[in-house]
């Protein structure tokens, strides 16, 4: 295993660019970068640009991971670059992205289903609760599109790895893999996102572990608020995720898995704090999660209850205190270092092989 970082969440990513971010990551002790999509590295899929990034990663002894884009046809209009890169043909766009990835030795490729909209409140921040199209209809359209991409992926020898994104459950994701084929599909495990569907992080990790080929590693603050539970990203070790169990489960299936941190980046100047509200006590919300069993639901609520003691004792800052405190470059880097140290300590404790940054 190696510990790296998401290419969008490393501080100053836009300022430094893809190559500069590799050097920055190296200086922070990262073993690699995970650029969310190949278009993050080169919006035009310029092979010269892409090979320069690959070369620099190799020179630094760092891993390089990347991906494609959102594969839900109802969400793709929000990412016009996916169609643009295919000259209007979105299937061709995905083919070209896959080919570009293969050209630089990247065959494990991130995909996801939708986009979180923080400007909307509660459930309407999630495309799962759209009123113009049902979530089952979105899943069916996603499956149909993936079945169009599957032969291309097979020909090129790539895996399309679907993130455990905030709007999809792990149960639904596994059904998509079954329908499309595990020879061309895998999982990007985000250790926080399943909790937005009231899934327990360890339960979720156990379900998807056989298929996990990429990761987004982060911890979570959970607390009761009016209307349900709020969730907030925190440094690894400062939240509710039992990384000892999660890493043990993942390593049993894929001991060379890269652990890519997705820590919060510096806040924008116009940052407005908003609760991410999970309406976990609402009957309609629960009815929208038919696979969620009572045992897992109870275990999730126990996480919230147990974590309340850490908040009350001052061991971890409350939501209000956290958003009131500065979170700029230095705080972002401190979060990366703290998360890295926490994961390293656990790997040492469990005697899991962890490759140091070269």
Give the domain range for residue 110.
Answer: 2-219+241-271+328-349
At 282, list the tokens: 């609402």
pLDDT at 348 over 90: yes
Averaged pLDDT score across all residues of the chain: 96
Q: Is residue 232 part of a domain?
A: no
For 241-281, what is each residue's pLDDT tens digit?
999 999 999 999 999 999 999 998 899 888 888 999 999 99
The total number of residues written for the chain in this structure: 358
**How many domains is the chain built from?**
1
Q: Are 185 and 172 in contact (CB under 8 A)?
A: no
Query: Over pLDDT 90: what percentage of the chain?
Result: 95
CATH of the domain at 49: 3.20.20.150
Q: How far apart are the first and last CA of the chain?
A: 13
pLDDT of residue 28: 97
Whether 197 is in a domain gets the answer: yes
How much is the pLDDT for 270? 86
Q: Band of the pLDDT at 356, cuts 50, 70, 90? A: low
- Dihedral of the alpha carbons of 159, 68, 192, 212, in degrees to the nearest 10: 10
Residue 75 domain flag: yes
105 domain-assigned: yes
Alpha-helical runs (H) found in the chain: 13-27, 38-41, 47-60, 81-84, 90-103, 135-156, 170-180, 201-208, 243-253, 283-287, 294-313, 319-324, 329-350
Q: Is residue 304 part of a domain?
A: no
Would you state the pLDDT for residue 357?
58
Q: Is residue 227 part of a domain?
A: no
6 pLDDT above the threshold of 70 = yes
Q: Please check whether residue 289 lies inside any domain of the structure.
A: no
Residue 352: the pLDDT is 92
Question: For residue 217, what are the β-bridge partners?
Answer: 261
Per-residue confidence (pLDDT) for residue 358, from 0 to 100: 57
What's the whole-number mean pLDDT along residues 39-43? Answer: 97
| Domain assignment of residue 196, yes or no | yes
Phi (first) and psi of residue 181, to 5 degrees: 120, 125
């Amino acid at each position: 295993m190696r510990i790296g970082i998401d290419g969008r969440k490393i501080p100053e990513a836009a300022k430094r660019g893809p190559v500069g971010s590799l050097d920055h990551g190296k200086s922070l002790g990262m073993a690699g970068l995970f650029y969310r999509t190949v278009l993050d590295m080169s919006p035009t899929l310029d092979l010269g640009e892409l090979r320069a990034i690959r070369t620099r990663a190799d020179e630094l002894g760092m891993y390089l991971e990347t991906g494609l884009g959102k594969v839900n046809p109802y969400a793709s209009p929000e990412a016009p670059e996916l169609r643009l890169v295919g000259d209007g043909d979105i299937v061709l766009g995905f083919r070209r992205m896959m080919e570009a990835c293969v050209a630089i030795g990247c065959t494990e490729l991130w995909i996801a289903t939708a986009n979180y909209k923080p400007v909307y409140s509660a459930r309407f921040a999630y495309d799962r609760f759209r009123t113009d199209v049902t979530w089952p209809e979105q899943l069916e359209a996603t499956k149909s599109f993936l079945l169009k991409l599957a032969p291309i992926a097979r020909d090129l020898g790539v895996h399309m790895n679907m993130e455990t994104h905030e709007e999809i459950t792990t149960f639904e994701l596994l059904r998509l893999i079954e329908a499309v084929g595990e020879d061309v599909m895998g999982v990007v495990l985000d250790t926080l996102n399943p909790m937005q569907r009231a899934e327990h992080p360890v339960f979720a990790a156990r379900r998807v572990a056989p298929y996990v080929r990429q990761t987004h590693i982060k911890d979570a603050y959970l607390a009761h608020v009016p209307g349900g539970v709020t969730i907030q990203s925190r440094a690894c070790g400062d939240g509710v995720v039992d990384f000892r169990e999660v890493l043990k489960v993942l390593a049993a299936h894929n001991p060379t898995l890269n652990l890519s941190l997705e820590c919060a980046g510096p806040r924008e100047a116009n940052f407005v704090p908003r609760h991410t509200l999970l309406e976990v006590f609402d009957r309609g919300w629960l009815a929208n999660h038919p696979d969620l069993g009572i045992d897992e639901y109870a275990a999730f609520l126990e996480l919230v209850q147990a974590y309340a003691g850490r908040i009350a004792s001052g061991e971890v800052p409350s939501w209000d205190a956290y958003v009131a405190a500065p979170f700029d470059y230095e705080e972002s880097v401190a979060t990366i270092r703290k998360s890295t140290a926490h994961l390293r300590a656990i790997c040492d404790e469990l005697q899991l092989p962890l490759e140091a940054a070269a």
